[in-house]
Amino acid sequence: MSNFERKFGKYAIKNISLMLIMCYAVGYLINLINPLFLSYLTLNPYEILHGQIWRILTWIIVPPDTSNLFFVLIMLYFYYSIGTTLERSWGTYRYNVYLLSGMLFTVIGSFLLMGYCYIFNGDLMAAYGAKDFFSAISFYFSTYYVNMSIFLAFAATFPEAQVLLMFIIPVRIKWLGIIYAVMLGAQFLTGSVYSRFAMGASLLNFLVFWFTSRNHIHMSPRQVKRRQEFKKEVKRSTGVTKHKCAICGRTEVDSPGLEFRFCSKCDGNYEYCQEHLFTHEHVKLY
């Protein structure tokens, strides 16, 4: 993806996790003030084709269902924390691609579900009316599974990291990831066709990520700490550039937020930025 990075990497949205959390906060506020208004923001392909194109974006505001304010605050903080960690580890561009592709797949999935309903659920649609029918099933497409894709990506990248379950019990994140994956699998097998479309579309980005990156994505908390320390050193350095990526040619002067590492698997002193460290082809002289 280096060619795409060179062309579009500068357009990547920094701190996109914070923007997503702000959207959730707006959604929860709307839900407290006027819950019925959320029905005008959902991902409803029928209404989109009838002129309400804002729904392509505003469905992100519709928050996952919950009535516990304390749980909402904890959830928002948790997803902000793991999202920003992934962005620092992968790089802003790759994290943008991962998150935005999940949203794009969700939109595409909603239109595929619409086509499926017209082909196989014509009688049911005729009984309820297409407008009311798609209004009812539009709530299946929410940010819940987008959040799950972020969590699963974090568990795959940092399997040895620990979280405090119930603020007391230390648990490695990989076990929570396995448990949630099993739960999602059970929901997919036992759920309705509508939930299957929503789940499959929203989690497709994680499946693509897992099958293309599973051999070189794992990081330990110690590696994360070293990256943060190196980032501070780069910010303090001035004058002649000390680091340059062998793929994109960027230095710490061009992008002060970038981290650089030498690859131990390449023959020679080849240094790469954080966005190419795990994706480059190893240089072998013999």
Q: Which of 91-95, 173-177, 264-268 has the lowest mean pLDDT?
A: 264-268
pLDDT for 279 equals 78
Contact 84, 266 (CB under 8 A): no
pLDDT tens digits, 111-128: 999 999 999 988 888 888
Closest of 205, 19, 23 to residue 98, by C-alpha: 205
Is residue 33 within 8 Å of 76, Cβ to Cβ? no
- pTM, whole model, 2 decimals? 0.71
State phi, psi for 238 to the nearest 5 degrees.
Answer: -140, 170
- Tokens 């959207």, located at residue: 23
Q: Give the pLDDT confidence of 194-241 residue by residue, as tens digits.
A: 999 999 998 898 888 877 765 545 554 455 555 556 555 655 555 556
